Amino acid sequence: MKTDEKRRLTRIASKGDVSFMQTTEPSLATRLSEPLNIGGKKVANRLWLAPMAGLGHVAYREVLEEYGGCGLMFTEMCSAKAVPMENRRVSPVFRWRDEELPKLVCQIVGATPDEMIPAARRVEAEGFFGIDINMGCSVPGIVKRHAGAALLKSPEKALAVIEAVRTAVTLPLFVKFRTGWIPDIRPAVALARQFESAGVDCLVFHPRVAPDKRTRPAVLDHIRSIKDAVSIPVIGNGDVVTREECAHMLESTGCDGISVGRMAMARPWLFAEWTRGYQPSEAEFGQYAIRLADALEARYDPVRALKRYKLFTVYFAANFTFGHSLQSKFLAAKSMAQIRAVARQHVRPDMQLSGRPNMNLYNT
């Protein structure tokens, strides 16, 4: 490329021309924007929101949808025991907007077919895009009930759950799971093949052992091993913070798409940014902080809204060089009105951003 042309493109980029983003990074945007078939249903793109307890609630998803660019969204983890009796108007987790159902997957967690079948039938009856069975959560309360990642310790029990749900419903079936409880990937590969044989339509794989709370990097070779073992789509998850890391996971593992969690909380516009060149403005962070506060207050009672906002602040504050100070101000707020006051006063367009979130804060 000639020097004059490079200068011209630099000037265009500095003006925030969306077409520049689309032409300079066609490989990632094009690959992410390619539709994907899951269980006979079409998904618009391959960049998805990961399920996150306490974070991926209906209020956050509403804000996320305003930016667009997300192929599939997943609910928070819903207890299979509770789902059949839940009232969507009051449930903190089994709650949605009707307009999001065509691209919303409900994640359920349970230990036995008897728990999972009624929950799966309720999810199908409500019109969700699909069901995701959680086999990745390793928090003590879930593992103690022999659910989540605990099922990976007993492959026969995990398979029994899958077979039961597959028999009970016809909508697309996902499984979110980890490497297991030991670093050896071979048991997870064998289980992935069994899941496919039992009728699972898509695997979302986080390449860490269950006890690892992100103290070590995700093992990308493990995603490659799962992808090579099955013919159904495999979505990679774990440590994707930048578009470069997103491209690297796709290229190095051969996975069919990417599921983003924590970074989606920090910057929900990344889906639109990575798939179609959306350019956030300098005021985007402050606007996001207020919009999420408004959505939470509209969807939840004041106590729950405040609690959920404070869970979010660690990811939001990690965007900034002095994020610890900002988060402490949010945590001191006693009401949503005070939350808004903090956002208006302390989240400014001239704040110094970290190139990638402050991982010391991000991983807490």
Give the residue numbers marked as catalytic.
Answer: 137
Backbone conformation region of residue 199, classed left if phi is above 0, alpha if psi is from -120 to 50, else beta: left
Residues 51, 132 contacting (CB under 8 angstroms): yes
Rg (CA), the chain: 20
Tell me the three state secondary structure of residue 271. Answer: helix
| DSSP string across 208-264 | EETT--SSS---HHHHHHHHHH-SS-EEEESS--SHHHHHHHHHHH--SEEEE-HHH
The Cα 269–Cα 68 span in angstroms is 8
The Cα 282–Cα 287 span in angstroms is 10
Sheet holding 257-260, edge to edge: 47-49, 257-260, 234-237, 202-209, 173-180, 130-135, 104-109, 73-79
Q: CA dihedral in degrees (254, 186, 178, 161; nearest 10)?
A: 110
The size of the chain, in residues, is 364
Tokens of 351: 């704040």
The Cα 156–Cα 261 span in angstroms is 29
